[in-house]
Amino acid sequence: MRPGSSIKLFQEKTIRSTWNEEEELWYFSLVDIVEVLTNSADPTDYLRKLKKRDPELKSYLGTNCPKVAMVTESGKMRKILAGNARHIFRLVQSIPSPKAEPLKLWLAQVGYERLQEIENPELAQERMKVLYEEKGYPKDWIDKRLRGMAIRQNLTDEWQERGISSDREFAILTAEISKATFGMTPAEYRSLKGLAKKNENLRDHMTDLELIFTMLGERVTTEISQKEQPESFPKSREVARRGGRVAGVARTETERELGHSVATPDNFLGESDSSKRRRVASGKKD
């Protein structure tokens, strides 16, 4: 998530939000959503009572919705329950309100980056390409990064087809692929690269080779899953290990030929010029 939060307006009411770089989705304050739908004087209490009346909703929000640091009315940062558009659609089902449909349209407009990626991938790719160019990334690296996003989206779509829905399950499967590919979980990889902040996207700090082997592990996992159609989470987890293992074997052979590790602590932290970015993206050392 990005540090802090931004304020968005829905029918002149404020809704706190923050952008999740990893998922490329907006996350919104659920309390603020409740307030605009109900005009409640105490939306926090309303949400609490709503979850008490609807155990299924309580379980859904508790499983899927993270607590994200956002600015309070007093100007302080506090962690509050937040959800993306999919989570909010589920919340709306439990709150009869004439504002439900306008809110859904508003969410679609505010989250156009992610939604347009589904409808028109070229628009989303152009948007992301410009963003990375402004950050100083070289064109060949950007092409790989965008291709990696498409492969990742195909994988998450396949997982959803297999009945996987919670963020926790996605994180576990992703960690299995990473562990088999690089010998590290994403958290351990972030530590290697010195990425302390949650808003620092690991893949934005990968070299060409790191991106290539990440794509290989995820693409092979997708292919195996589509072929075998695992019917449970444990089976999908084993498929993730196998897909990552294929990339891991290829990485090991590559390292043997090159004489150095593919995984590197190099990153793009604190860089204002594009020359270091080009050097890191190409895998070259000072």
Query: 167-218 pLDDT, tens per residue?
Result: 789 889 999 999 999 999 999 999 999 987 665 789 999 999 999 999 999 9
Query: Which are the contacts of 103, defined by CB distance < 8 A and separation ≥ 6?
Result: 10, 33, 36, 37, 88, 92, 97
- Better-predicted residue by pLDDT, 247 or 274: 247
| Confidence at residue 270, expressed as pLDDT on a 0 to 100 scale | 56
Tokens of 219: 């693409």
- Better-predicted residue by pLDDT, 223 or 21: 223
User: Which residue range forms the structural domain that includes residue 276?
Assistant: 120-282
**230 neighbors 177 (Cβ within 8 angstroms):** no
Spatial distance between the Cα atoms of 62 and 23, rounded to a whole number of angstroms: 19
Spatial distance between the Cα atoms of 153 and 160, rounded to a whole number of angstroms: 11
What is this structure's pTM?
0.59
97 and 142 co-located in one domain = no
42 and 105 co-located in one domain = yes
Among residues 80, 95, 114, the one where a domain terminates is 114
Q: Is residue 95 part of a domain?
A: yes
Among residues 53, 80, 114, the one where a domain terminates is 114
pLDDT at 278 over 50: no
Phi/psi region, residue 25 (left: phi>0; alpha: psi -120 to 50; beta: rest), is beta
Q: Is residue 51 part of a domain?
A: yes
Q: Which contiguous run of DSSP H or E holds residue 239?
A: helix 233-258
Query: Which are the contacts of 88, defined by CB distance < 8 A and separation ≥ 6?
Result: 28, 30, 33, 103, 107
